[in-house]
Structure 1
């Protein structure tokens, strides 16, 4: 039997991998409108419960909220379950329990206490999903024809109906303001905003497939990170420095120190928790950037040697990806 610890960490802080504010805010309201649109009904983000109100069913289903039950059957028969979802422990130094952004996902959870026995579970792993095929078709159809055929439209409406979102995607497109979607890197290709239609196809993909291991591939094939070459971005989580700060004791929210004593980001930087900007000596303290070379991975030196008559990388019949050197361990150039 193959075992894994996904059920355990889905009941905790996701092994210190939190959801970003950008992801959470990209989800539509159940009426199909973006959160910023007039009449959307967005309740704000002062509390996690508010964030989930009247939202896309996938966010309501998968975004964890304090007080929710994590185990429904075989209570007491597991060893590593978290019976009730706690207040996010953003201050915890134990990576198995730390909530890095305050937002965590319950996708992949099992409500069976036995799936946490000795810290291991044996739930199945989904490999093929019809929804991914629908999304692939929708995107390809629009990229090829700059419009959606009847099949693509039917797929999109089916996805939204299943997610309990108003199936009128044209209303969403009409209400989309690209300058307000800039926290989502998928809004860009080659440093420029894509059309609202294409962006909303990408949004649908992000909402449906979150935490399923496809986002990095998507961002690279969309060439969605050029804007980060010159302008740093800042990863943010929940609004820690709003009313939710009262969930914690003052001594739990230490900030401003350059050593390991700081556990949360300074409210002067943002009212939202910035997990990569907790200590000023961190490389990510001023934000994150990107290099063109990282759209492609470097080819290993050994591969050049194996494809060379004399065993040298310089005389190999294959060539290195742009921005990378033939010398192993060399940083990419600023292409």
Structure 2
């Protein structure tokens, strides 16, 4: 979620448009609208029956309803969130440990609904997901990254790749000349600032499409995957002390798995060669397998 830029094209760390993440509603304001396609924005409604609901009477609880009406339609992504049977989830986030419903729940506070599609209501186990196998967004981020590696990424390349994608997300265009070491204070310092932004765009555009693991492997950055994983900022009292918080604090970020994950073994960057292929070709097994 932190990877999604604000609408001014700046990161959440340095944009004046970012309103903080200690309030679930504020965190989603002024952000790349691809975030709304990735995880449902927060809301609250009163559920009347399993499949019907009414407003709480507080307009703030439905802040993002109009956003989804403007970027989607009733057959795809709308609020409130519904399960396959059309049952209403009365509030998001809907934590697994303290679920307001036993479905559409999340451990982290951010439920992934990238391929969610309301046209499947009533069609359990035979869903049709709006998930293209190959699309222009992938081509654009591939081209941007390849041009950087060739030493040919400039503003003209950014304009026909990354900036086309940002326009779709309602985000200001990338100006290559303004990206320096201070652009993202959380940047991996071993990665060129412009390349880091290209990789950010790739992560955002292709999130939940199955690319991330292999991207991290080919960049030799699987240490990103072994960092402590944190979820939404919450207070323990708001979830009846049922959801684990980093450091067992009274407030902070959800940390489902305690402690520090183990390091990624160096030899995992290569897959083991199949035994039958070694026999057929007399190849040597990759190191340490």
TM-score by length of 1: 0.66
Are 2:115 and 1:108 aligned?
yes
Is the alpha carbon distance of 1:28 and 1:175 closer, same or farther for their aligned partners in structure 2, counting shifts above 3 Å?
A: farther
Counterpart Cα distance in 1 of 2:75 and 2:148: 45
Per-residue deviation at 1:323? 2.7
Asked if 2 retains the 8 angstrom alpha-carbon contact of 1:66 and 1:85, the reply is no
Are 2:213 and 1:216 aligned?
yes
What does 1:50-89 align with in structure 2 at a 5 Å threshold?
50-67=26-43, 72=74, 80-84=85-89, 86=91, 87-89=93-95
Q: Using the TM superposition, name which of 100-109 and 218-227 deviates more.
A: 218-227
Could you say which structure has the higher strand fraction? 2
2:229 maps to which of 230, 235, 255: 235
2:196 maps to which of 181, 195, 199: 199
Asked if 2 retains the 8 angstrom alpha-carbon contact of 1:80 and 1:117, the reply is yes
Segments of 5+ residues of structure 2 without an aligned counterpart are 44-63
Are 2:281 and 1:299 aligned?
no
What does 1:1-335 align with in structure 2 at a 5 Å threshold?
24-37=1-14, 39-67=15-43, 72=74, 80-84=85-89, 86=91, 87-91=93-97, 98-112=105-119, 114-145=120-151, 147-148=153-154, 150-170=156-176, 173-174=179-180, 176-177=182-183, 179-181=185-187, 187=188, 193-225=190-222, 233-241=227-235, 245-250=236-241, 252-253=242-243, 267-268=248-249, 271-277=252-258, 285-307=259-281, 317-324=282-289
Asked if 2 retains the 8 angstrom alpha-carbon contact of 1:33 and 1:175, the reply is no
Is the alpha carbon distance of 1:175 and 1:64 closer, same or farther for their aligned partners in structure 2, counting shifts above 3 Å?
A: farther
| CA-atom RMSD in angstroms | 3.4
Is the alpha carbon distance of 1:217 and 1:132 closer, same or farther for their aligned partners in structure 2, counting shifts above 3 Å?
A: same
Instruction: Give the structure 1 partner of residue 50 of structure 2.
Output: none
* SS class of match (2:252): coil
Segments of 5+ residues of structure 1 without an aligned counterpart are 1-23, 182-186, 256-263, 278-284, 308-316, 325-335
Per-residue deviation at 1:225? 2.9
Asked if 2 retains the 8 angstrom alpha-carbon contact of 1:32 and 1:171, the reply is no
> Which protein is bigger by CA-based radius of gyration?
1
